[in-house]
């Protein structure tokens, strides 16, 4: 059997973040070493300093080897679904990437390919479905549920009993009040507090920062 390696799927900014989190998972004995990345746009990391993460080609033409394991390294749910579709039909295996600093309680249920970046947490009896991404420092409180392929950007607080649908894109720094429901395919803008349920497909945002004053240059 060939040696296992982890392949990141997508060569953008999130791939570079995941490179570090995956390497720390490997150091902790949780995942095989990072062996490279795939991107149909070419060697997008050329010029960056990631010598041990070579470009392995595009996703379209890629054939999984027996030791290959995959992490979907893109943010948008639609992109995750598309890349998953291409690779899953060829038998690709998607382990969970749970950073050693993340807290996943014994009674939390995590699906295939779930990503937990540093400092994220899944509370008691939460259900985090397949290919959900928790970026850094996010929390799911007791009994919260998150549907498949949903992406949660950094510093998001999902409080107790919240139910988030599938394919939802949540911006950074969002707080959900307890038991709020978010329908499938919704988008939640960065920096807001969600205090009413959001219907499927809707885009919700609040609280823009307002400019109180600007410093004018002294005319003298």
Ligand X SMILES: CC(C)(COP(=O)(O)OP(=O)(O)OC[C@H]1O[C@@H](n2cnc3c(N)ncnc32)[C@H](O)[C@@H]1OP(=O)(O)O)[C@@H](O)C(=O)NCCC(=O)NCCS
**55-94 binders of ligand X (CB under 6 A):** 75
Q: Interacting stretch for ligand X, rule CB under 6 A, among 61-69, 112-120, 125-133, 182-190? A: 182-190
Residue from 47, 51, 85, 208 touching ligand X (CB under 6 A): that is 208
The yes or no reply on residue 185 touching ligand X (CB under 6 A) is no
Return the C-alpha torsion angle 116, 121, 124, 129, nearest 10: -30
Which of 141, 147, 185, 189 binds ligand X (CB under 6 A)? It is: 189
CB of 154 to ligand X, least distance (A): 7
Strands 187-188 and 169-170 turn out to be: parallel
Query: Cα(57)–Cα(42) distance, rounded to whole angstroms?
Result: 7
Residue 38 in contact with residue 8, Cβ under 8 Å?
yes
Tell me the backbone φ, ψ of residue 83, rounded to 5 degrees: -70, -40
Nearest distance, CB of residue 201 and ligand X, angstroms: 13
List all residues 6 or more positions away from 84 whose beta carbon is below 8 Å from its beta carbon. Answer: 72, 94, 113, 131, 149
Kindly calculate the radius of gyration of the chain based on its CA atoms and give it in whole angstroms: 19
Q: Does residue 191 belong to the site contacting ligand X (CB under 6 A)?
A: yes
Q: Smaller CB distance to ligand X: residue 107 or 206?
A: 206
217: its two tokens: 């240059």
Supply the minimum distance, in Å, between the C-beta of residue 14 and ligand X: 8
| Span 150-179, contacts to ligand X by CB under 6 A | 153, 171-172
Stretch that binds ligand X, among 18-26, 44-52, 61-69, 189-197 (CB under 6 A): 189-197
Alpha-carbon distance of 98 to 118, in angstroms, equals 8
CB of 136 to ligand X, least distance (A): 11
CB of 80 to ligand X, least distance (A): 13
Q: For residues 83 and 164, what is the distance between their CA atoms, to the nearest angstrom?
A: 22
Q: Can you tell me which of 79, 88, 177, 190 binds ligand X, judged by CB under 6 A?
A: 190
Measured over the CA atoms of residue 128, residue 143, residue 104 and residue 117, the dihedral's sign is positive
Q: Please, which of residues 87-126 interact with ligand X by CB under 6 A?
A: none
Binding site for ligand X (CB under 6 A): 75, 153, 171-172, 187, 189-191, 203, 205, 208
């Amino acid at each position: 059997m060939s040696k296992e390696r982890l392949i990141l799927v997508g060569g953008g900014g999130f791939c570079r973040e995941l490179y570090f989190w995956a390497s720390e998972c490997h150091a902790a004995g949780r995942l095989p070493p990072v062996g490279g990345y795939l991107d149909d746009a070419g060697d997008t990391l050329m010029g960056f300093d990631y010598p041990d993460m070579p470009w392995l080609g595009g996703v379209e033409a890629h054939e999984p080897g027996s030791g290959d394991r995959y992490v979907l390294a893109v943010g948008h749910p639609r992109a995750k679904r598309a890349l998953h579709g291409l690779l899953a039909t060829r038998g690709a295996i998607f382990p969970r990437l749970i950073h050693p600093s993340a807290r996943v309680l014994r009674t939390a249920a995590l699906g295939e390919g779930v990503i937990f970046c540093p400092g994220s947490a899944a509370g008691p009896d939460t259900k985090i479905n397949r290919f959900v991404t928790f970026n850094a420092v996010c929390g799911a409180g007791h009994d919260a549920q998150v549907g498949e392929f949903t992406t949660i950007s950094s510093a998001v607080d999902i409080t107790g009993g919240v139910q988030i649908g599938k394919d939802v894109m949540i911006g950074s720094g969002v707080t959900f009040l307890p038991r709020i429901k978010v329908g499938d395919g919704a988008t939640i803008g960065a920096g807001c507090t969600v205090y009413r349920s959001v219907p499927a497909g809707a885009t919700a945002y609040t609280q823009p920062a307002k400019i109180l004053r600007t410093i004018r240059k002294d005319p003298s």
